[in-house]
Amino acid sequence: MENVRTRFAPSPTGYMHIGNLRTCLYEYLIARVNDGTFVLRIEDTDQERYVEGAMDAVFNTLALTGIGFDEGPGKEGAYGPYIQSQRRNLYKEYAVKLVESGHAYYCFCTKERLDSLKTGDSQLGTSFNYDRHCRNLSKEEIEANLKAGVPYVIRQKMPVDGTTTFSDLVYGDITVENKTLDDQVLLKSDGLPTYNFANVVDDHLMKITHVVRGNEYLSSTPKYNKLYEAFGWEIPTYIHLPPIMKDAHQKLSKRNGDASFLDLVDKGYLVEAILNYIALLGWSPGGSEEFFTLAELEKAFTLDGLSKSPAIFDIEKLKWMNGEYIRRMSPKAFLEAAKPWLTEGLGEELAADEAVLTKIAGLVQPRTVILSDIPERISFFGNLPDYDTVLFCHKKMKTDEENSLVALKELLRFFQNYKGVWASNDLYGEICGLAGTIEMKNSQLLWPLRTALSGRDVSPGGATELAEILGQTETIRRIEIGIDMLGG
């Protein structure tokens, strides 16, 4: 088999959305499973849409995910440079070759003329197609315009009759009528290539064998193939991916408020979980296993597992998968990942106590789905919130405000005189013993205690786990607050 070479070629025009990352991941995996080469190429020829910092976002995303490229900016190989604006001088040479071979032509139409054509097509309800006004200019007219310095673009000369068929690994053979193909611009008046032209030239020069992209490019593929044929170049293997949908009718889109990869990371999703989930959006591993590390994907990925059906981005499924990843982490790894969120919830002073931080991390890990849930759930450790005494009432625990007041008074005396080991298991055993002595159910002591210590209807951990972390003095103080609130 030939040396497989794939490329991820983002344009620095914004954030890295989920579809971009899926394309990147699949390109990477195709290279890895075939012992091939994965190339990163920055396609920045559209300077008007260039967004400051977008290139950094690409590098940051690849670094975070562990998707390493073999050739690219900063990792120069034999086919660089890998930033298109640094290659601008070579595209004109290839565009002129097409003119000379009769596969392209100079177009001198003004912006005003083209705008009037676009307006006309818009009024007719049709998409804009150039009317080929300059396609049959005489050699003398062309030379006169060039000599006079008239601005021009170079357009591809498309066949107007017959059909063009191309093959796609996902969608099979596709045939289009040539009369539908626009004479697209290859080289703009500023000397920079269009995306469609630079893409083909660079893929050939970089010896790219497999091109992965969204299925919105299916309609452009015949134009690409006509360029390959005009140059006599080998056409790569095409792999067009179905869209990632928000629901049955809407594509996933930042414009609609949908999260990008970095947005999801900022919201507390684990990089490994996001990458795992994205891998399954359009690819089936062929078995029941859903959890794959990147290293495992590098061995398991197969092209025949790709689907032509749109994939639904189900945020609830991602949450579930993220929660599973969190529960599978070692306590040490979870503490490291959760530390910023723990610190946000506890405050710098309390979070500085490594023993406290470790204990709280142990409580929240099995109950956490998204890391960003942590701060609000643990903030009561630092500051007891205002709460309503109705929280003391729990039908299942058989508690109400009256017996909760009794329970807290008993617990206050118990903790004020407690000399034993201040640890959850010891405290739990002693409190259960106290419950038997005063003829109350365990829950009738533990529920009011948990409520007084947290001020919440739900807390990470039971009453004695919270008491162990808060310490004896703070536990007593919070019980006293609860007694006051209950009118004691």
User: Of 454, 466, 467, 460, which is closest to residue 338 (Cα–Cα)?
Assistant: 460
Q: 241: which 2 tokens?
A: 């991916």
**Nearest-angstrom CA–CA distance, 477 and 408:** 11
Q: How many CB atoms lie within 10 A of CB 319?
A: 16
**Nearest-angstrom CA–CA distance, 360 and 340:** 13
Q: Are 156 and 223 in contact (CB under 8 A)?
A: yes
Residue 160 amino acid letter: V
Q: Which of 97, 254, 267, 299 is catalytic?
A: 254
C-alpha dist (Å) from residue 231 to 124, 181, 197, 204: 36, 18, 12, 10
**Nearest-angstrom CA–CA distance, 359 and 487:** 33
Handedness of CA 111, 132, 205, 216 (dihedral sign): positive
Q: What is the CA radius of gyration of the chain?
A: 32
User: Helix or strand or coil: residue 138?
Assistant: coil
Residue 461, classified by CB atoms within 10 Å of its CB into exposed (0-12), middle (13-18) or buried (19+), is buried
Q: Please indicate whether residue 254 is annotated as part of the active site.
A: yes
Q: How many CB atoms lie within 10 A of CB 164?
A: 19
What's the CA dihedral at 56, 57, 63, 67 to 10 degrees?
A: -120
**Nearest-angstrom CA–CA distance, 372 and 445:** 32
Active site residue ranges: 254
